[in-house]
Amino acid sequence: MKKILHESLQEFLNEEEVFRGAVETGLKVEDVDSKEFLVGLAIEKRHSTDLAVQRDLAIQNLSTNPKYYSEGIKKGVFGKNVEAMNLYKKYFIDKEDVK
C-alpha cells in the first residue's frame, strides 16, 4: 500500500503541468534534496493549495540555493509555519550542533 501511494505521488510530482509565471529551471524533483523539497512544499502552501504549484515554487527556490528552506527557517524568514518547522526538526535538527 505504501509503495502504491509513493508511486502515485511520484507520478503526480513529475507531471509537466506548470503554473502561469513559472520559471523553467531544468530541474526535476529527483534533482533536488528530498528533505529540502518536503520542507519547501510545506512552506509553499502559503501561496497555493495546488500541489503542482507548490512543487514548482519549491524547485525554483532550490535551483537558486540548494539549502533555501533550511537556511530560511534558521534565519526565521518563513515565520511560524508549524508543519515546516516539524519537518525541519525531523530532518535537519538532529544533524546540526544546536546549543
Establish if 9 belongs to a structural domain.
no
Establish if 90 belongs to a structural domain.
yes
Give residue 84's pLDDT. Answer: 94
> Cell 512543487 sits at which residue?
55
Percentage with pLDDT > 70 across the chain: 71
pLDDT class of 99 with cuts at 50, 70, 90? very low
Establish if 5 belongs to a structural domain.
no
Surface-to-core class of residue 79, CB atoms within 10 Å of its CB (0-12 exposed, 13-18 middle, 19+ buried):
exposed
Establish if 82 belongs to a structural domain.
yes
Establish if 96 belongs to a structural domain.
yes
Q: Which structural domain range is residue 98 located in?
A: 32-99
Establish if 69 belongs to a structural domain.
yes
Give residue 25's pLDDT. Answer: 77
Which one of 52-56, 63-67, 79-83, 88-92 scores highest in mean pLDDT? 63-67
pTM summary value: 0.72
Total domains in the fold of the chain: 1
Establish if 78 belongs to a structural domain.
yes
User: What Rg do the C-alpha atoms of the chain give, in angstroms?
Assistant: 14
